[in-house]
Amino acid sequence: MTKITCDLLSVGTAQEYYGRIGLTGQSNHVDNILNDPAVGDPANEPFDFSQFGLSASVGRNFTNGYYGQIDLRYQDTDVPANTDDTLHNGSMIAFRVGKDFTNSRFGGFVGYVDVTGDDTAGSNKMQRVILGIDGEYSINSQISVFGEIGSIGEPMGTQGTDGEDGIHDGTYGIAGLSYSISPALSVDGQVGFANGTHDGDQLDMMIAGVGAYYETNVHGLSTYLRVDYTDFYQIGEDERLASTTVQLGIVYNFGSQGTSSRRPRALAPIEDWLGYSGGHLE
């Protein structure tokens, strides 16, 4: 009887649940670089607005390092409802599976993104299925590298013709490096590229960002500050703009850490990419 009890406890420990809840505030600055005002007409150049977000994830650790996870994100902006050609709100749901090894993690994901990137009274939507892989490898106790490769599916929705505004039929890749300055403080940097179609034209994106993350004295509670820059270039129409975002967030982690302290990183901000390309470049 004692042996059976111990075995059951062992199985239960290996299959613990975990999760996180996050709140973010974000300042957005959009600059016209070539041939197109940031929003509507040159009087709106440059264009600044604020964004607020809520995220959550729940996962389960299985035996032998395997895990399954669900990610949810929602964000809203302070842009007036009758403003055309700009991000208003967006949401994402993603299902993730993978395996956590001794010093690395590797997984895959499939998700759905829904964005309002134009006058909300017209219910102008851009909707996409996303699919990809992501992973992380610890070089040593302080340095790790991470990456994400994904696809952005066919156009769906009502903005443009059948949701064709905003990047679609595209691929993207992001690679980064994280450095732990201390047990409580870490920094990272990342670069990336995306290529797809927008409004019947080829769209290229260049991505770069840096972040700092701090574990507070409250167990499970951390804060972070991120700065990201994205360059959008619509080749056929020779139009180009850039967005700079500054994001401040607070995150609460709960539950099991699994076989290592690496939890899957947040997926790329596809909602922002859709809102900028489908709105500001429109």
Q: Where are the domains of the chain?
A: 15-280
Alpha-carbon dihedral angle through residues 261, 23, 131, 169, given to the nearest 10 degrees: -150
Q: E strands within the chain?
A: 17-34, 47-61, 66-77, 89-100, 104-116, 125-138, 143-152, 156-157, 168-180, 185-198, 201-215, 221-234, 239-255
pTM of the model: 0.88
Convert the pLDDT of each residue in 54-92 to its tens digit. 999 999 999 898 999 999 999 999 887 777 667 788 999
Convert the pLDDT of each residue in 128-142 to its tens digit. 999 999 999 999 999
**Superfamily designation of domain 15-280:** monomeric porin ompg (2.40.160.40)
How much is the pLDDT for 42? 57
